[in-house]
């Protein structure tokens, strides 16, 4: 089929993306700052030979990373999956790459069709900071009890009003979210907070991490987290943990068969 004929038949493609968010002002396009979305728009447009808007599953913040961001775009261009993949990656900077490209039905929407999302927050709990981990983990000097943090975190599982962990600038219409799983585990000097939910509020995981560190360090008792949750007041919870420790690790679409992205952000497991 010629590209002229294909131009009359737009189609939708989904992509799986990995990125280091250190140099970017988050996912969403900003007027005067670099963004992941802008870089992808430019790379995909170069292959499609037309303007393209890439729509992501989650609007990660400034400095936040992703090992499995999902996005979609519409195009009239006719390319093989391999040509899309190689072409897009050849036009992306080294801190962003696409793992796969797949055609999807027109009713697929990267954001609104997603049924669950997962994030990992990484803490380096060691007496000395790490130059190599400075953009990947929050360095916490005071010893933390990961088992104590994990036990306290279980009160968050289920459907709750998470106003106490919501940023003031959050634009979500409701503070109610359903957390399906939250785990806190230690791997030598690293502590990982892994959380899955139907959706997340602005800064929700980072605010949860700040509160759990208070509990892990002994500054607060484990039952304090339930009190914070019930208060529905951001002023009573812990600090907002730094952005660099946060990675979007999974987005699930039960109604659509999409490949997984390799989770290369879990390099801390190599140390265990």
**Which residues participate in catalysis according to the annotation?**
61
Instruction: Give the integer Cα–Cα distance in Å for 52 and 167.
Output: 31
Pick from 59, 70, 63, 249: which is nearest to 170 by CA? 59
Beta bridge partners of residue 251, listed in sequence order? 117
Instruction: Give the integer Cα–Cα distance in Å for 241 and 11.
Output: 40
Map tokens 């914070």 to a residue.
228
Instruction: Give the integer Cα–Cα distance in Å for 187 and 269.
Output: 7
Instruction: Give the integer Cα–Cα distance in Å for 209 and 222.
Output: 14
Region class of 46: left (phi > 0), else alpha (psi between -120 and 50), else beta = alpha
């Amino acid at each position: 089929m010629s590209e002229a004929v294909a131009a009359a038949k737009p189609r939708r493609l989904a992509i799986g993306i990995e990125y280091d968010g250190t140099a970017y002002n988050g996912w969403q396009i900003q007027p005067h700052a670099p963004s992941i979305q802008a870089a992808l728009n430019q790379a995909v447009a170069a292959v499609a030979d037309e303007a393209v808007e890439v729509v992501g599953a989650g609007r990660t913040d400034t400095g936040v990373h992703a090992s499995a961001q999902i996005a979609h775009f519409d195009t009239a261009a006719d390319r093989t999956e391999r040509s899309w993949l190689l072409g897009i990656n050849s036009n992306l900077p080294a801190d962003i790459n696409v793992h796969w490209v797949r055609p999807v039905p027109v009713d697929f929407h990267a954001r609104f069709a997603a049924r669950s999302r997962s994030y990992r927050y990484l803490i380096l709990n060691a007496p000395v900071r790490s130059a190599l981990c400075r953009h990947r983990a929050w360095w916490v000097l005071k010893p933390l009890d990961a088992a104590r943090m994990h036990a306290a975190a279980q009160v968050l599982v289920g459907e709750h009003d998470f106003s106490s962990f919501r940023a003031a600038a959050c634009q979500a219409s409701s503070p109610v979210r359903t957390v399906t799983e939250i785990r806190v585990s230690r791997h030598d000097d690293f502590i990982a907070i892994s959380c899955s939910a139907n959706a997340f509020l602005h800064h929700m995981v980072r605010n949860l991490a700040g509160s759990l560190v208070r509990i892990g360090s002994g500054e607060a008792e484990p039952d304090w987290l339930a009190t914070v949750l019930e208060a529905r007041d951001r002023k009573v919870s812990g600090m907002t943990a730094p952005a660099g420790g946060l990675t979007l690790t999974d987005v699930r679409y039960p109604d659509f068969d999409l490949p997984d992205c390799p989770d290369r952000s879990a390099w801390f497991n190599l140390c265990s």
